[in-house]
Amino acid sequence: MMRMMRVFATNSPLSDDGIARGLSVLRAHVKKLGLKSSVTRDAVAKAALERVGHFTVEDLITDIRKDSTLDVHPATVYRILPLLLDACLIQHSLLANATGARYERLFEREHHDHLICIRCGKVVEFEFEAIELLQRDVAERLGFRLTEHVLELMGECASCTRHEESR
């Protein structure tokens, strides 16, 4: 039986224990790849795990500069992000029309896609198993090994539609 569609509650912050678990997942992943530990990498991961909601590389840099003396540059963060994506600590999110790449924590959350209101910017997070399956099917048929996907549906939310109709 196919699972129903689920709508997720707003993202809440990860506990300190959760952040520690996330960092150890990353360290294990990095070790498996034969890479050395890195203070900067850990700082980027911690900033990403601490973030609530969707963030940019600039957001991470601002956070890191706020609570450490590390001078981290965008190029460094962009080099580290693939490791965080690989370790399932974060996922990509585009969030329609936003300039620059956006990410969000995935660690101890579940994969989800987004509905975005083009009028008020409201974002609804959902997961619909049928859509997930179809995307895997498309990739398979076209000979792709799927590693990730970003799906965003744009339109007008219920309250913007109601507002429009009452005018």
Interacting residues with Zn ion (CB under 5 A): 104, 113, 125
Task: Indicate the angle between helix axes 16-32 and 74-86, nearest 10 degrees.
Answer: 90
Q: Which is nearer to Zn ion, 47 or 72 (CB)?
A: 47
Nearest distance in Å: CB 124, Zn ion: 9
Residue nearest to Zn ion (CB): 113
What whole-number distance in Å separates Cα of residue 12 and Cα of residue 109?
10
What whole-number distance in Å separates Cα of residue 151 and Cα of residue 1?
23
Contact 136, 127 (CB under 8 A): no
Residues near 17 by Cβ (< 8 Å), separated by ≥ 6?
Answer: none
Nearest distance in Å: CB 53, Zn ion: 7
Nearest distance in Å: CB 115, Zn ion: 10
Q: Output the six-digit token pair for 4.
A: 């129903």
Nearest distance in Å: CB 45, Zn ion: 18
Q: Which is nearer to Zn ion, 50 or 113 (CB)?
A: 113
Q: Which is nearer to Zn ion, 14 or 30 (CB)?
A: 14
Q: Which is nearer to Zn ion, 41 or 114 (CB)?
A: 114
